[in-house]
Amino acid sequence: MSTATDNRRKAPAGERVADWADGRLGIYSLAKANMRKIFPDHWSFMLGEVCLYSFLIIILTGVYLTLFFHPSMNEVVYHGSYVPMQGMRMSEAYKSTLDISFDIRGGLLLRQIHHWAALVFLAAMMLHMMRVFFTGAFRKPREINWLFGFLLLVLGTFTGFTGYGLPDDLLSGTGIRIAQGLILSIPLVGTYISMFLFGGEFPGTDFVARFYSIHILLLPGIMLGLVVAHLILVVYHKHTQFPGPGRTEKNVVGMPLMPVYMAKAGGFFFLVFGVIAAIAAIATINPVWAMGPYRPDQVSTNAQPDWYLGMSEGIFRAMPGWEINIAGHTLVLGVFIPLLIFGLVLTAMAVYPFLESWVTGDKREHHLLDRPRNAPTRTAFGVAWLVMYGVGLVNGGNDLWATHFHLSVNSVTWFVRITFFTAPIVAFIVTRRICLGLQRRDRDKVLHGRESGIIKRLPHGEFVEVHEPLSQDQLFTLTSHEQPKPLELEPEVDENGVTRKAGASQRLRAKLSKGFYGEGTHIPKPTAEEYHEITSGHGHH
């Protein structure tokens, strides 16, 4: 006992602090499990970190902004330093935003960092989600984390929108007005929700204060919880990795957290912050002073939401004006249908992992990623989804496309009305074919080697390109993927002669499974026999 005490006395200060903490928090056990945790190196694995860090940047700058922003719609007359607003009536919210921009040193910078980081946050979530989708990283055991990520995207969108509405300028007020119009279109309860949300008629005097507490407290609070859960699951599941020599479903190959990833990931936070700060120094975002205070009878063209709602804006613009009156009630389909479509497009993304595992019957854990070409159907679905989203997004700015490319805004809208449905189908077919083409190329590469670019003249005068055989590493990497078989329906008559009909859902499942994995969905991998036959014989041709 006494020796132990002696040892402790001699231990360096850092260790003594760690001992103290361990006695209360058990940090040594935690560190044993995690200090040398392995992270694989790949740039696309850093996209989630971009999201995390921009989220942190938003929180840091947002806290600063709350120190100066007045979430109030009381009207005041402006006498600040921005001349073109002198003597204008405006809400305190708008006035304090002008003050942050013009009278508080660094206020404009922090406002711009906050807003740019928000756009980057949502863009990075989208890109991160694409990476996870196209590599199949959402498969078991990570479906729940996919849902957490999806919820973060949705909540991020709402948080962004409520923030966009806070300055109470003409652009944001127009956006809120549109949102109120959408709410009114909800059958049965639309007017009630609108009255309750706005404390009466639009615009009223409440919504800035209400949106403020939603924007800075409610939604970020939930998001913070989800982010923590998302990260805990990432650590718990350990990271996925791309296939390659020595990488299996049972291990994860990369660099340890301490010290490499502490430096890389920690450093990356500063890199992200630095890049966004530089952007905020160079480019304006949301110049509220140019837009004027909100008045419900004023408007400007280019009234668009931030990009993450551009797709919904686009489908609202493309929708024909359908409206049905039945028995004294109005169904505002022209507004309500796009609202539903937007919800459905998002939900499709959320449920895809469950759909895929049901269709393919694959209930195993997956830690090795798919190359997108090796899962042609999934890749094609993803591209089709993106094309649909992109077409909607394009129409969100249809007026700008029209003026910049000298087109008619009506034609752009009609173009989008048609391509919103047709382009995803085309994209699906084309993508799948491209994937098969790439598979075919992989197969050729394995069997015939890499085209070296060296031209050789044979004795009889023929010119040939020398094909270099691939290394064992490359051969393994190109052939290690699975090629699943479609699910088969159980025979309708079993061996005892008892007829059992497959249910409708069973038949659908088999059909979809065939679509996923059946004929024409993959190019057979080269087998070792084929390889030997070609390489042992007369060399390359």
Per rule CB under 8 A, is residue 541 in the interface with other proteins? no
Per rule CB under 8 A, is residue 382 in the interface with other proteins? no
Identity of the residue, 197 or 510, whose beta carbon is nearer to other proteins in the bound complex: 197
Q: Count residues contacting other proteins (CB under 8 A)?
A: 181
Q: What angle do CA 512, 515, 521 make, to 5 degrees?
A: 155
Instruction: Name which position in 130, 204, 443, 484 contacts other proteins (CB under 8 A).
Output: 204
Q: CB of 445 within 8 A of CB of 467?
A: no
Q: How far is the CB of 107 from other proteins (least distance, A)?
A: 9
Which residue bears the tokens 């449920």?
Answer: 351
Per rule CB under 8 A, is residue 55 in the interface with other proteins? no
CA distance 51 to 223: 12
Site for other proteins in 487-526 (CB under 8 A): none
Per rule CB under 8 A, is residue 421 in the interface with other proteins? no
Instruction: Name which position in 325, 496, 499, 505 contacts other proteins (CB under 8 A).
Output: 325
CA distance 444 to 438: 10
Per rule CB under 8 A, is residue 320 in the interface with other proteins? yes
Which amino acid would we find at residue 10?
Answer: K
Per rule CB under 8 A, is residue 60 in the interface with other proteins? no
Per rule CB under 8 A, is residue 171 in the interface with other proteins? yes
* Candidate segments 6-14, 63-71, 264-272, 495-503, binder of other proteins by CB under 8 A: 264-272
CA distance 466 to 488: 44
Give the tokens for residue 168.
Answer: 């109470």
Identity of the residue, 323 or 494, whose beta carbon is nearer to other proteins in the bound complex: 323
Instruction: Name which position in 1, 4, 282, 458 contacts other proteins (CB under 8 A).
Output: 282
CA distance 254 to 41: 6
Q: How far is the CB of 498 from other proteins (least distance, A)?
A: 32
CA distance 515 to 359: 9
Using alpha carbons, list the distances in angstroms from residue 265 to 23, 45, 402. 29, 11, 43
Instruction: Name which position in 22, 158, 334, 351 contacts other proteins (CB under 8 A).
Output: 334
Give the tokens for residue 515.
Answer: 């679509």
Per rule CB under 8 A, is residue 343 in the interface with other proteins? no
Site for other proteins in 216-235 (CB under 8 A): none
Identity of the residue, 197 or 384, whose beta carbon is nearer to other proteins in the bound complex: 197
Site for other proteins in 393-412 (CB under 8 A): 396-400, 402-403, 405-412
Q: What is the 3-state secondary structure (H, E, C) of 119-181?
A: HHHHHHHHHHHHHHHHCCCCCCCCHHHHHHHHHHHHHHHHHHHHHHHCCCEHHHHHHHHHHHH
Q: How far is the CB of 469 from other proteins (least distance, A)?
A: 6
Identity of the residue, 155 or 178, whose beta carbon is nearer to other proteins in the bound complex: 178
Identity of the residue, 96 or 174, whose beta carbon is nearer to other proteins in the bound complex: 174
Q: CB of 356 within 8 A of CB of 380?
A: no
CA distance 248 to 276: 37
Per rule CB under 8 A, is residue 266 in the interface with other proteins? yes
Per rule CB under 8 A, is residue 439 in the interface with other proteins? no
Q: CB of 96 within 8 A of CB of 69?
A: yes
Q: How far is the CB of 263 from other proteins (least distance, A)?
A: 4
Q: How far is the CB of 253 from other proteins (least distance, A)?
A: 5
CA distance 92 to 104: 16
Site for other proteins in 20-39 (CB under 8 A): 32-33, 36-38
Identity of the residue, 69 or 316, whose beta carbon is nearer to other proteins in the bound complex: 316
Give the tokens for residue 61.
Answer: 């700058």
